[in-house]
Amino acid sequence: MLHISRRAFVALITLALPLTVAAATIPEDTQTPLVRINQEQNVEVRGDFILSPTRIVMQLDPGEEQIVDVQILSREGEKRSYTVAVEDFSVSDDGSDNIQFYGGADGPFSARSWVTPAVAELSIEHGQRAFFSVKVTVPKNASVGDHYSVVLFQRQPDATKPGGVSMISRIGTLFLITVKGDVIRQGTLQQFLVQRHLNWALPARFGMRYRNTGTVHLVPQGHIEISNIFGVTVDDIPVKDWYVLRNSTRQREITWQPKFAFGYYQAKLFLTAAGQQPVETQVSFWVIPAIPTALIVIAIFAISFLVQAFFSRFELKRKKDGSKEKEGKKKGA
């Protein structure tokens, strides 16, 4: 079994947000082409390939079948070949943000035998975008709830460059397949906190931790309302696109980066998930920017010094004038 950091995996599949690569051999007995290739113009050479979509969410009945399309775009700068494979995956339940792949074994909520890509190998030129189908077939006896698999695309080593170091890149499209039935939607917000209660610089960062104890994935959504010491709302930060998979704990960081902030603030979180009661909780924090604060303190000391110096001179002058008057009176006497 292969372990990989969720952040590393997300970084890989995030590169796939623009559409993705692939070219393939179409079976001769197929009347409808399973792969369609378009030549894109002005594609920058970056030595990689991108995939779209990075996540496919489906709700199917037992025994139902559905075909979806995946796109792949080459930015390799040359013709390259790729393999297509299907594996199960799961996410950790310890809050460590790890994704686990199972290779040829079944995961805890297996769906790899349900997912069939149209091709197993692809090859395309730079700038070509390939569209190909993936068939999902849910068994009639499938258990109700979520099942997870990933269609992985792996670049093959360049056979024309022997002896060199070859980078093996894999990116994938996640399949979140919900088998309809009496599913359980249940989860808990375990934590909402501010990273630092006293912030000498922006941004201010907030952490959230959500635990899914149901049988389907949840998508908590909401917003964080930032208010100042007078209770006036100064900003509103959306919380969205946060998937918490079945039997897992997911953490998320939200940053607040206003143009300027100074003083005491409260952050109130409003969060909802399908079938759950809305959650409200809040934390308080201070923002005291170090550099502006130092400049203000220096300015106060400078002004104070100048004022004291001015009045000190003024007092000395009055004393001298007073002494002259006394001397004049003595002489007159």
Question: Residue 322's pLDDT is what?
Answer: 53
Question: Residue 6's pLDDT is what?
Answer: 45
Please check whether residues 165 and 233 belong to one and the same domain.
Answer: no
Residue 200 lies in a domain: yes
Sole residue written with tokens 């209660």: 197
Residue numbers in the chain where pLDDT is lower than 70: 1-33, 95-97, 159-168, 293, 313-333
Cα–Cα distance measured from residue 52 to residue 15, given in angstroms and rounded to the nearest whole number:
9
Question: Residue 18's pLDDT is what?
Answer: 33
Residue 243 lies in a domain: yes
For 133-152, the DSSP string reads: EEEEE--TTPPSEEEEEEEE
Range of the domain at 72: 2-179
Residue 225 lies in a domain: yes
The vertex-293 CA angle with 292 and 297, nearest 5°, equals 120
Please check whether residues 213 and 89 belong to one and the same domain.
Answer: no
Please check whether residues 139 and 237 belong to one and the same domain.
Answer: no
Question: Residue 309's pLDDT is what?
Answer: 74
Residue 317 lies in a domain: no
Please check whether residues 135 and 281 belong to one and the same domain.
Answer: no
Please check whether residues 47 and 164 belong to one and the same domain.
Answer: yes
Please check whether residues 96 and 173 belong to one and the same domain.
Answer: yes
Q: How many domains does the chain have?
A: 2
Residue 314 lies in a domain: no
**Domain finish residue from 179, 206, 234:** 179
Question: Residue 89's pLDDT is what?
Answer: 94
Please check whether residues 136 and 225 belong to one and the same domain.
Answer: no
Terminal Cα distance for the chain, rounded: 112
Integer Rg of the chain from CA: 32
**Domain finish residue from 179, 208, 240:** 179
User: If residue 163 lies in a helix (H) or strand (E), which one and from where to where?
Assistant: none
**Domain finish residue from 120, 147, 179:** 179
Question: Residue 168's pLDDT is what?
Answer: 63
Contact 175, 136 (CB under 8 A): yes
Using the Cα atoms of residue 207, residue 211, residue 216 and residue 220 in order, give the sign of their dihedral.
Answer: negative
Please check whether residues 258 and 163 belong to one and the same domain.
Answer: no
pLDDT tens track for 257-309: 999 999 999 999 999 988 788 999 999 999 998 777 677 777 787 788 777 87
Question: Residue 311's pLDDT is what?
Answer: 72
Residue 322 lies in a domain: no
Contact 303, 295 (CB under 8 A): no
pLDDT tens track for 18-30: 333 333 333 334 3
Point out which residues pair with 236 in neighbouring strands: 225
Tell me the pTM: 0.76
Question: Residue 332's pLDDT is what?
Answer: 54
Question: Residue 297's pLDDT is what?
Answer: 73
Question: Residue 21's pLDDT is what?
Answer: 31
